[in-house]
Structure 1
Amino acid sequence: GNTKYTRDIRYAHDSKDRYTTGAYPSDEFLKEIIDFTKGKTDVDLARIVVEKSYEIPSFLEKVGVKLQGALKGTLHLSRTNLFLLGGGKAMLNSYYKKAGELGVDIIYESALEDLVISGGEFEEALISVRGKRISVKGKAIVIASGGFEANIEWLKRYWGNAAENFIVRGSRYNDGMGLRILLDKGAEPVGDPKDMHAMAVDARSPKYDGGMVTRVDAIPFGIVVNKHGKRFYDEGEDLWSKRYAIWGKLIAEQPDQIAFVIYDSKSQGIFIPPAYPPYSANTIKDLAEILGIDPQSLEKTVAEYNSSIECRRFDPSGLDACRTKGIDPPKSHWARPIDTPPFYAYRLRPGITFTYMGVRVDRSGRVLMRGGGRFKNIFAAGEIMMGNILSRGYLAGLGLTIGTVFGWISGEGAGNV
């Protein structure tokens, strides 16, 4: 799954602790979820996630996960998120080790093919293991198989051929089979099938499995233009940790699903660099030619942007007083003239992490059925049910929070059947 590509997790805490630089109380956490989804969230489930997130650090330590001490300069996350020492892969290794100690059998190189369900009750799972089909029976099942972000054909139903230009920054195995089976068996869907957690990634990234290092964090400190050299969205709308996950969809809506972030030498070194070096030139005209953009169009866009700036106090660590006036789209923060060579750029593609469409669940993680009722012993956790809480937008580290909390809840529910 995608957990191995993660690095931090958001959690509520009422005071500064070993992993963060300040308090992040539950009421603030919940308000942020309601705000960025514009109220389109199951507030009851969101509140459960927030309140139970207090327990995350102690749980991680209990199962042997190593945690990083408080960090600064991490996309404005030092107060709200704890960082995993060794990232998500190290966390997974700790989980596997603990599961083995508890006697849990783990089957590799396997895929879910179907579920046998009778009268709303799960009876057995049909699984392909290294080409051989086996049946696994159980008292209950938890489906935690992610979304359909790596299934380009499924994405094309909603995005058309534009989906061919998406880069899958996570697992190539998240093809949505578990979700497809549940929907076919009568599960109630939740979430817009076209919405997704997707960010701007370097266009040179591999098609699959690029992970965190392909993300381009230069956007707040420059401008973003499409293939015609035109800006199309506010690059400084809010803190980057609250906006980075919308840029993939924005780019997906542009011609040929390509965009370019342009900045100058003043911004070099302010953001975390991706794996690839930027393109550079001593003039905007030369940079445009390297990128394949009409030079006159890009020069005009940069000139209009530069002349619109009102900057009293530039502060990359928070919402500052540098903004534009009189242009559309505006830039609300971190607006500085792009006037100091050399000039830099990255080509950007939509980098999809996960899809928001999933199955609706109740407070116990039990999957609900279309037309009313619920499955007796089928539960869900992680991306496959994340659409109950995430309808749009994102907060950095929240996906892992939801997966962790509903992993507990659904696991406990299944164990008590």
Structure 2
Amino acid sequence: MPAQTYDVIVVGSGNAGFCAATSAKENGASKVLLLEKSPESWAGGNTTFTAGAYRTVFHGLHDVLPLVQNVTPDMADKIDMESYTEQDFMADIQRVTNNRSDPPLASILVEESNATTKWLAKNGIKFQLSFNRQAYKIGGRQKFWGGMVLSVVDGGKGLTQQHQLNARRRGVEVRYDSPAVRILSNPLGEVVGVTVWQKGSTTYDVLSRGGVILCAGGFEANPSMRAQYLGPGWDLAYVRGTPYNTGDCLRMAINDLKAKSTGNWSGCHSTCWDANAPTDAGDQKLTNQFTKSGYPLGLMFNVDGVRFVDEGLDMRNYTYAKFGREILHQPESIAFQVWDANGTSWLRSEEYADDVVEKIRADTLGGLAEKLRKKGLKNTVAFVASLREYNNAVKAYKQENPNAIFDPSKKDGLSTRCSSGGLQLDKTNWAIPIVKPPFVAVKVTCGVTFTFGGLKIDPETSAVISESTEREIPGLFAAGEMVGGLFYNNYPGGSGLTSGAVFGRKAGRSAAGRSIALNKLATRAAL
């Protein structure tokens, strides 16, 4: 039986893959095939396990209100929201990546973020203002913070479902349980299709006129590749999302097609993760709820009873993707987040509700230390001493700065440092005393989300660049986590989904255009 032929083939059913397929369809590709390695029950890849947040340029509340479905006129009057400009977005990317992010790639992401979220909304993605994660109610007003305000209704699970509905509306053919095991090319070096494995240990070829778009994620679910590229101990990190992102397409593109690799191959997005979560894949019901990002409101200790990060270094959006790495490097790769009654009152229920996480409670710091000893804390004396030293430093700062006010919606400067000294490791914002019982702790570990190393692409077309020629590999495109060069060591929260959408959209447009052009050439040749 001859191989089936499509205008465009997309590999991977996450946010980037569905964006690429949608874009190909609307740009003239009549036959689009999306291949997914996993069964349909795991559709969406890592997208399903996100909070569904998109970081985008916006010009005030009026710019985002037409996109959202959860704001009444009365509510809008009580919202404080500053614009987030292209300069703000670019500055955040370069700041958190230590100026390593590829400038042309980052510029495209920033410049097209606003238009792309509006394009998503036109394609059935239902946005809402992220009150639950990106705003605090202070003085009767909702104060948004961290430069990110949009999320998708029902989070990552809702995003995947909405993408699936849109693909069906547009006539995209989706095949699950269909991993691509080989990328096909012709003698001219043009990518012309893929070989697909199907149940029963058989394979078949599907061909593409316009090319193949790789959106199959990184290698975060592959323990041996994590240890090889991220370093010792990373094979023990918990997998936050899908177990199907094992780096297969990265290896095929690099080894078989000589695609150029780029970016931070020893870096990844890794967050504070519930130590009681599954180890090798995310939970499909709780998904992102295993994230434990309330540390700016409290403290984190390792098993030796010692703090190891400045919990108030920056807004959560700019630290949560790198603090998982710090936990992994601690003894036994675990830590304890700690708050008092005042701190716990600010925690988000989706991450810290009693039915989501195991909380260890006590009415005294000593009592909390004893309970944590049974959970792995080795030095209870150091733990209590560190807490008391912290409380004394907070008190000293407050005495010197009596007008300083706690405000979790901005970097408030409440610190453990004053003219008389401070801690060896200061907390530089949101340093409030931990003195009011009950005291609460949660045990966390490192959850790896996605890897930063990937393929070099042309920012304008999403075409993959050849290691040999430094030119585009004809017919090969990439988007999503497979793109390298954007993120180094860290990333601004919410920019991953935005990147997948921006470059997925470009890849779909480019592949569709290539298919149309080649079809025209073939028609002329036949005349």
Partner of 2:139: none
Aligned pair 1:135/2:216, yes or no? no
**C-alpha deviations, 1:87-135, integer Å up to 9, x for none?**
2322322322222232221111111211123443213311112243111
Name the residue aligned to 2:61.
16
Structure 2: distance between partners of 1:252 and 1:194: 14
**More displaced 10-residue stretch of structure 1: 80-89 or 354-363:** 80-89
TM-score normalised by length of structure 1: 0.94
1:6-155 equivalence runs, <5 A: 6=50, 7-17=52-62, 18=65, 19=68, 21-69=81-129, 71=131, 74=134, 76-77=144-145, 80-118=148-186, 119-131=188-200, 132-139=202-209, 140-155=211-226
Unaligned runs of 5+ in 2: 1-44, 69-78, 136-143, 399-403, 515-527
- Structural mapping, 1:3-402, within 5 Å: 3-6=47-50, 7-17=52-62, 18=65, 19=68, 21-69=81-129, 71=131, 74=134, 76-77=144-145, 80-118=148-186, 119-131=188-200, 132-139=202-209, 140-158=211-229, 162-185=233-256, 186-207=258-279, 208-210=281-283, 211-273=287-349, 274=351, 275-292=356-373, 293=377, 294-309=379-394, 310-311=397-398, 312-325=404-417, 326-363=422-459, 364-371=461-468, 372-385=470-483, 387-402=484-499
Offset of residue 25 of structure 1: 1.6
Q: 2:361 is paired with a residue of what secondary structure?
A: strand
Identity of aligned residues (%): 30
| C-alpha contact 2:219 2:246 (8 A) present in aligned 1 | yes
Q: CA RMSD in A?
A: 1.9
Distance 1:228 1:70, change over 3 A: closer
Whole-angstrom CA distance in 2 between matches of 1:73 and 1:413: 35
- The answer (yes or no) to whether the contact 1:321–1:333 under 8 Å persists in 2 is yes
Q: Secondary structure at the match of 1:213?
A: helix
Q: How many residues align?
A: 416
- Using the TM superposition, name which of 12-21 and 265-274 deviates more: 12-21
Whether contact under 8 Å (1:2, 1:171) holds in the other structure is yes
Q: Deviations over 1:297-353 (max 9, x none)?
A: 111211222222223321122111310122222110011222222211111110111
State whether residues 41 and 390 of structure 1, in contact with CA within 8 Å, keep that contact through their aligned partners in structure 2: yes
Report which of the two structures shows the higher radius of gyration computed on alpha carbons.
2
Give per-residue Cα distances to partners, 1:225-276, cap 9 Å, x unaligned.
Answer: 1111111111100111111111111111112211111221121120214221
Q: Is contact 1:77-1:241 (8 Å) kept?
A: no
Cα distance between partner residues in 2 of 1:142 and 1:220: 39
C-alpha separation between the residues in 2 aligned to 1:36 and 1:159?
A: 19
Rounded to whole Å, the distance in 2 between the matches of 1:82 and 1:115 is 36
In 2, Cα distance between the equivalents of 1:95 and 1:218? Answer: 30
SS state at 1:324 partner: coil
Farther-moved stretch of structure 1 (231-240 vs 367-376):
367-376
Q: Distance in 2 between matches of 1:378 and 1:164?
A: 31
Question: Partner amino acid for 1:14?
Answer: H
Contact 2:479 2:507 in 1 (8 A): yes
- 2:145 touches 2:409 (CA, 8 Å); kept in 1? no
Corresponding letter in the other structure for 2:321: A
User: Per the alignment, in what secondary structure is the counterpart of residue 400 of structure 1?
Assistant: helix
- Which of 1 and 2 has higher RCO (CA within 8 Å, sep 6+)? 2
Distance 1:129 1:238, change over 3 A: same
Q: Matches of 1:77 and 1:133 in 2, distance apart?
A: 50
* TM-score w.r.t. length of structure 2: 0.75
Q: Distance in 1 between matches of 2:230 and 2:57?
A: 36
